Amino acid sequence: MTNPILPGATLGMLGSGQLGRMFAIAARRLGYRVHVLSPDTETPTGQVADVEVRADYLDLERVAEFAGNVSVVSFEFENVPAETTEICQKYCPVRPAGSVLFTSQNRKREKTFLRDAGLPVTPFTSVGSQVELIAALQKQGLPAVLKTADWGYDGKGQVVIRTIEDAGNAWSALNVPQAILESFIDFECELSVVAARGLDGQFVSYGPIGNSHCHHILDISVCPAAIPLSVATEAIEITRAVLEKLDVVGVMCVEFFLTKSGKLLINETAPRPHNSGHLTIDAHITCQFEQQVRAICGLPLGSSELRSPSAMANLLGDVWEAGEPNWIAALSYSNLKLHLYGKQEARLGRKMGHLTVLGKTVEQAEQTARAARAALKSR
């Protein structure tokens, strides 16, 4: 086994948003130093890191210098260029590997890999023109969802198609050279499983988390999800298979649709901590960010035991629309934990923070989370 990277070492993070911030907080609590690289400055991660390097991801000379000063590199979002991780790998380990990032950051590669590995994915067809799109619709059926192959997140880069006549406008709206057409899934609910895998193959997962979205952005997450035990067990085993087949070292989230017939279908993967897993900070013995640190450093993974039923509510820039939120009103809920990301400007739809509530039941926790978030807008 490779020698572990012990506390006191310096960890490198590509990307400087809230996921990097919470990684840095977990790393520093364990005694590590953290360097972060991104094209921005005064970032959520940079505010808590030891060193913030401002450089473009394709400034490979600066990237090489960055990688030469750390013991291991990880990333907090999928859209890091392959060239960046290739340069980093010359100087230190990149975990998860750049090959994992390369697969996950493109929907066509991701879906094809999962399908060819025998894993359950939403039916899809790769399309590269309006003519191919129409042919795929005729074969695959309607309704369907057209998605960009690259750079999609939070519902961006996708269009629902309900009739053949919609195909031309849908293709023009995406305006990309390559896309995938997915069958529209009439699902019962959306689930996610966040898991970690160590250098030695140790696997730890959090029980399935139930997710609800608003305008394609995650709104509320609850744990445990209200699903049968058999479905929860199957979701974890599928997630284990995904991490093993991709040879992930680090944290990965697998998002699922649960169909009305009880079938699990993988919607997408994220090779890093996930928004739905933020509740693990307060609700589980070891949070997803500490697991990320442990995994990439070659340390034993921590317990994922759930302390209490919990609910997380995202705080978007909309909460600031009428002025400073009423923090006093929200914090009057004594079982609430508030997490703000240090972003300087609140914009509609921008993730500014989240709050987590622990309760005796999931229903109680969710009800309180919604009430506390509503209280932020009270005057």
Domains of the chain (ranges; CATH) run 10-94 (3.40.50.20), 123-183 (3.30.1490.20), 187-375 (3.30.470.20)
Which of 374, 364, 360 lies closest to 322, judged by CA? 374
Which of 15, 13, 51, 26 lies closest to 299, judged by CA? 26
The full DSSP string for 42-91 is S-TTTTTSSEEEE--TT-HHHHHHHHHT-SEEEESSTT--HHHHHHHTTT
Task: Please say whether the beta carbons of 97 and 82 come within 8 A.
Answer: no
Distances (CA, A) of 69 to 11, 16, 55, 310, 344: 9, 17, 15, 39, 29
The Cα–Cα gap between 24 and 13 comes to: 8
Q: What is residue 164's DSSP assignment?
A: G
Task: Please say whether the beta carbons of 252 and 270 come within 8 A.
Answer: yes
Signed CA dihedral, 124, 125, 130, 135: sign only: negative
Q: What is residue 275's DSSP assignment?
A: G
Task: Determine the Cα angle at 24 with ends 22 and 26, to 5°.
Answer: 70
pTM summary value: 0.95
The Cα–Cα gap between 116 and 314 comes to: 35
The Cα–Cα gap between 80 and 16 comes to: 12
pLDDT tens, per residue, the chain with 379 residues:
579 999 999 999 999 999 999 999 999 999 999 999 999 999 999 999 999 999 999 999 999 999 999 999 999 998 899 999 999 999 999 999 999 999 999 999 999 999 999 999 999 999 999 999 999 999 999 999 999 988 655 556 889 999 999 999 999 998 899 999 999 998 999 999 999 999 999 999 999 999 999 988 999 999 999 999 999 999 999 999 999 999 999 999 999 999 999 999 999 999 999 999 999 999 999 999 999 999 999 999 999 999 999 999 999 999 999 899 999 999 999 999 999 999 999 999 999 999 999 999 999 999 999 999 999 998 7
